[in-house]
């Protein structure tokens, strides 16, 4: 099967991640116009405005701008786990555990102990209770619980609010602080139709990304009490996260919150359209769990008897001669393998409504092609 794998002349729709967003012209204008100062001296007015804005949004006492979500999570874990040999309890599929290079262990001497993530991103609170260490000199000291909302590895699902309330009560009873990796927290709030502050009411710390679906080019914000943020500031400096005239970047974050946040629901609707089309196809080769489609992430499950994730991604990145003749189009859709049997696509603010039917047509064509093989 001859294939054209180059992008030349083809329309490319890149759904690999919502980190691919490009700043819009108005966002760039806001960045250029931002008043600046030295943030390491605490003198950048635009950084301070962003931090105050996020603290209000999350109903926390204070917030701190950091370069990345990974650094934000690391700062929060290290700030809660000041004693080396501390232990954090977190889901086995969580971003902190799977995708952040074990930084909490490398740099902080913090021991991760995992709970099995359930299909909805939660974990058993009974298992949580069982894993809390007693006072024994042979064991690490259980010091923190971490959750992720939305949960990337289970397809962008939103943690149920009732479960979060129960988790918060359990952590208070156990005397353990609770940190939320809220990289896509605002997607979760949008999906539930509640203020973001409600989702982190029982969290002692939270990190929120500005550089995913909201469209900013760089940056995350961590939030908590004033005392917690004082400690986070020291850790940010130690990790090399002091960025001087960072208002240039903070201005993009402010613009993203003002203009990107109201558009997240559209991203969710686009994903639902794609998922529904795949579901309606009724394919035995590639399937979708419609119940699990809640935000801007979609997982497509491959039946490995017919096709694997790498094959699907490769085929979607090609335009065959047969396809060109049948459709009259040259379309490339970029997605990523996620697990041994699934692929992930992510819709974001740079994907237009006109892109969605094109993606659907390409997916259906490729799925039917695999069915014939």
Query: Measured between alpha carbons, how far is 320 from 329 in angstroms, rounded to an integer?
Result: 10
What is the pLDDT, as a whole number, of residue 3?
43
- Which pTM value belongs to this model? 0.95
pLDDT tens digits for range 128-179: 999 999 999 999 999 999 999 999 999 999 999 999 999 999 999 999 999 9
Whether 1 has a pLDDT exceeding 70, the answer reads no
pLDDT tens digits for range 254-300: 999 999 999 999 999 999 999 999 999 999 999 999 999 999 999 99
Give the class (CATH, top level) of 3-20+263-372: alpha beta
First CA to last CA distance, the chain: 12
pLDDT tens digits for range 96-120: 999 999 999 999 999 999 999 999 9
Q: What percent of the chain has pLDDT over 70?
A: 98
| CB atoms inside a 10 Å sphere around CB 102 | 12
What is the pLDDT, as a whole number, of residue 232?
98
Query: Measured between alpha carbons, how far is 279 from 288 in angstroms, rounded to an integer?
Result: 6
What is the pLDDT, as a whole number, of residue 38?
97
pLDDT band at residue 235, thresholds of 50, 70 and 90? very high
- Residues 48-74: what's their mean pLDDT? 98
Closest listed residue to residue 27, CA positions, set 264, 262, 349, 255: 255
CA 251 to chain centre: 21
| Domain residue ranges of the chain, discontinuous segments joined by + | 3-20+263-372, 25-261
Residue with tokens 């394919």: 283
What is the pLDDT, as a whole number, of residue 372?
87
pLDDT band at residue 9, thresholds of 50, 70 and 90? confident
What is the pLDDT, as a whole number, of residue 2?
41
pLDDT tens digits for range 310-349: 999 999 999 999 999 999 999 999 999 999 999 999 999 9
Two domains, one topology: 3-20+263-372 and 25-261: no
Is the separation of the CB atoms in 110 and 88 below 8 Å? yes
pLDDT band at residue 6, thresholds of 50, 70 and 90? low
- For 25-261, CATH gives 3.40.640.10
pLDDT band at residue 4, thresholds of 50, 70 and 90? very low
- Residues 78-98: what's their mean pLDDT? 97
Written as six digits, the tokens of 14 are: 């890149």
User: CA angle, corner 168, sides to 162 and 171, nearest 5?
Assistant: 140
Closest listed residue to residue 188, CA positions, set 199, 179, 180, 178: 199
């Amino acid at each position: 099967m001859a294939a054209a794998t180059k992008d030349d002349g083809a329309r490319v729709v890149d759904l690999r991640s919502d980190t691919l967003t490009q700043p819009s012209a108005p966002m760039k204008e806001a960045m250029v116009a931002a008043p600046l100062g030295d943030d390491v001296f605490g003198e950048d007015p635009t950084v301070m405005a962003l931090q105050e804005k996020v603290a209000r949004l999350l109903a926390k006492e204070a917030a701190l701008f950091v370069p990345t979500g990974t650094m934000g999570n690391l700062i929060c874990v290290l700030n809660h786990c000041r004693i080396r040999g501390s232990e954090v309890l977190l889901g086995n599929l969580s971003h902190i555990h799977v995708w952040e290079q074990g930084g909490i262990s490398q740099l902080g001497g913090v021991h991760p102990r995992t709970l099995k993530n359930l299909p909805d991103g939660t974990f058993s609170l009974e298992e949580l209770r069982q894993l809390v260490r007693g006072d024994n000199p042979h064991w690490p000291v259980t010091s923190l619980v971490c959750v992720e909302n939305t949960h990337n590895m289970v397809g962008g699902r939103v943690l149920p609010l009732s479960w979060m309330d129960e988790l918060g009560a359990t952590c208070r009873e156990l005397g353990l602080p609770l940190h939320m990796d809220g990289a896509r927290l605002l997607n979760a709030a949008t999906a539930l139709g509640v203020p973001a502050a409600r989702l982190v009411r029982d969290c002692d710390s939270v990190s929120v990304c500005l550089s995913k679906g909201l469209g900013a080019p760089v940056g995350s914000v961590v939030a908590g009490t004033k005392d917690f943020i004082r400690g986070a500031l020291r850790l940010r400096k130690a990790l090399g996260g002091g960025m001087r005239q960072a208002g240039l970047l903070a201005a993009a974050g402010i613009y993203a919150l003002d203009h990107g946040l109201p558009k997240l629901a559209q991203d969710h609707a686009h994903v639902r359209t794609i998922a529904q089309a795949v579901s309606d196809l009724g394919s035995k080769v590639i399937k979708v769990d419609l119940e699990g489609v809640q935000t801007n992430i979609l997982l497509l499950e491959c039946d490995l008897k017919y096709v694997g994730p790498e094959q699907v991604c490769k085929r979607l990145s090609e335009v065959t001669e047969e396809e060109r003749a049948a459709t009259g189009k040259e379309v490339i859709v970029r997605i990523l393998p996620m697990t041994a049997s699934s692929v992930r696509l992510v819709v974001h603010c740079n994907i237009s409504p006109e892109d969605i039917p094109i993606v659907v047509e390409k997916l259906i064509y490729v799925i039917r092609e695999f069915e014939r093989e």
